[in-house]
Amino acid sequence: MSFAILGGILLNIGAFLTYKGKVYEAVIVYLLGDLCWMFMAYTRNDYLGALFIIIGTTFGFLAFLKMRRGEMNKSLNKSDNELSS
């Protein structure tokens, strides 16, 4: 099994967890999938691709930390968000 396939499987698992409302678990699974793709890109000497994956993974990890600390005060319901018109 290649790292691309393993990363794709993890992407599907992450999407399913997101669908079930388990966002924290989904983000961790997405980050594991990103690690697979980083390794795959590096082994294929695609250093620019690996760089972009690393940047995206870093932003994803920072968002995860922000969610865990409770600093994201957004809701999916428009009435719960304080939107100014």
Give the torsion sign (CA, 5, 11, 17, 22). positive
DSSP 38-81: HHHHHHTT-HHHHHHHHHHHHHHHHHHHHHHTT-----SSTTTS
Residue 12's pLDDT is 93
What are the boundaries of each domain within the chain?
A: 3-68
In this predicted structure, the answer to whether residue 74 has a pLDDT above a threshold of 50 is yes
In this predicted structure, the answer to whether residue 16 has a pLDDT above a threshold of 90 is yes
Q: And the tokens for 46?
A: 């695609």
Which residue, among 55, 62, 64, has the nearest Cα to 26 in the 3D structure? 64
In this predicted structure, the answer to whether residue 49 has a pLDDT above a threshold of 50 is yes
Give the confidence band of 85 by pLDDT, cuts at 50, 70, 90: very low
In this predicted structure, the answer to whether residue 73 has a pLDDT above a threshold of 70 is no
Q: What predicted TM-score, i.e. pTM, was given to this entire model?
A: 0.69
